[in-house]
């Protein structure tokens, strides 16, 4: 039997900390993990609470939602990896924008899992992550590869993109950012090239898909 297929009945149970701002989600995950023979050492409704619980709970694996405040999933992953490096972090979220996935990887997450993932696959992911592996579905992996190979926007281009998403004209963007219309046009062209979009509308759609234009709701 290899390491990734080992269940927690073969040794000490895997200690899991659950972080999610929805109680029903936390309770559901706790039931799933307990049924799999894992030890749920704690549940937290936000990242700050989770980090404060680390010393007491000493988790092997932490599952955390992505869109939370004041700390999002990447903040949680980064804080846990700094405070307890041996704890593996799984981002468990309903969102799979390219930018979120890439940020999670940079923050040190070992896996990025969608909440619609089947229970058996989630349990397998926890086992593999606990064994020291990085686990991403083929769908997520291909998106990550595409993101890494694509050209990133400069901070100024991001500001122009934000203005375009609000429906501002070149003249309005120039006034907002205190730059010339010619400069705005140059930035727009660069944005279209980098996002491989044929016009502004498609650029905004592509930016939303990559997570460059964030939703305000969680």
From residue 86, alpha-carbon distances to 7, 19, 145, 183 in Å are 19, 17, 26, 48
What's the confidence (pLDDT) of residue 8? Answer: 45
End-to-end CA distance of the chain: 41
Q: Report the distance separating Cα 102 and Cα 123, nearest Å.
A: 23
d(CA 8, CA 5): 10
Q: Which of 27, 74, 65, 24 is nearest to 46 (CA)?
A: 65
Tell me the C-alpha distance between 38 and 32, whole Å. Answer: 9
The correct answer on CATH 3.10.129.10 for the domain covering 3-148 is no
CA dist 210 to 95, 98, 99, 192, 213, Å? 11, 4, 5, 14, 8
**3-state secondary structure string, the chain?**
CCHHHCCHHHCCCCEEEEECCCHHHHHHHHHHHHHCCCEEEEEECCHHHHHHHHHHHCCCEEEECCCCCCCCHHHHHHHHHHHCCCCEEEEEECCCCHHHHHHHHHCCCCEEEECCCCHHHHHHHHHHHHCCCCECCHHHHHHHHHHHHCCCCCHHHHHHHHHHHCCCCHHHHHHHHCCCHHHHHHHHHHHHHHHCCCCHHHHHHHHHHHCCCCCCCC
How confident is the prediction along the chain (218 residues), in pLDDT tens digits per residue?
A: 343 344 444 578 999 999 999 999 999 999 999 999 999 999 999 999 999 999 999 999 999 999 998 899 999 999 999 999 999 999 998 887 777 887 888 888 999 999 988 999 999 999 999 999 988 776 666 666 555 545 678 889 999 999 999 999 999 999 999 998 888 999 999 899 888 889 999 999 888 877 788 653 33
pTM: 0.65
Q: What residues does each domain of the chain span? A: 3-148, 155-210
Domain 155-210 class in CATH: mainly alpha
Per-residue pLDDT, 155: 86
pLDDT of residue 135: 85
pLDDT, residue 1, reads: 36
Residue in the block written with tokens 């083929």: 138
What pLDDT is recorded for position 144?
60
Same topology between domain 3-148 and domain 155-210: no
């Amino acid at each position: 039997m290899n390491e990734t297929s080992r269940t927690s009945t073969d040794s000490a149970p895997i200690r899991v900390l659950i972080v999610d701002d929805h109680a029903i989600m936390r309770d559901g995950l706790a039931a799933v993990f307990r049924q799999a023979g894992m030890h749920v050492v704690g549940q937290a409704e936000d990242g700050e609470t989770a980090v404060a619980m680390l010393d007491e709970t000493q988790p092997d694996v932490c599952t955390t939602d992505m869109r939370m405040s004041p700390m999002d999933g990447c903040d949680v992953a980064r804080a846990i990896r700094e405070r307890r490096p041996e704890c593996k972090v799984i981002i468990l979220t309903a969102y799979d924008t390219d930018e979120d996935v890439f940020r999670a990887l940079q923050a040190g997450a070992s896996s990025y899992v969608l909440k619609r993932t089947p229970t058996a696959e989630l349990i397998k992911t926890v086992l593999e992550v606990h064994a020291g592996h990085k686990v991403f579905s083929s769908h997520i992996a291909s998106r990550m590869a595409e993101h890494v190979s694509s050209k990133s926007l400069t901070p100024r281009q991001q500001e122009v993109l934000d203005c375009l998403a609000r429906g501002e004209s070149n003249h309005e963007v120039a006034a907002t950012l205190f730059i010339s219309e010619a400069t705005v046009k140059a930035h727009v062209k660069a944005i279209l090239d980098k996002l491989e979009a044929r016009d502004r509308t498609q650029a905004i759609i592509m930016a939303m898909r990559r997570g460059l234009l964030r939703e305000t709701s969680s």
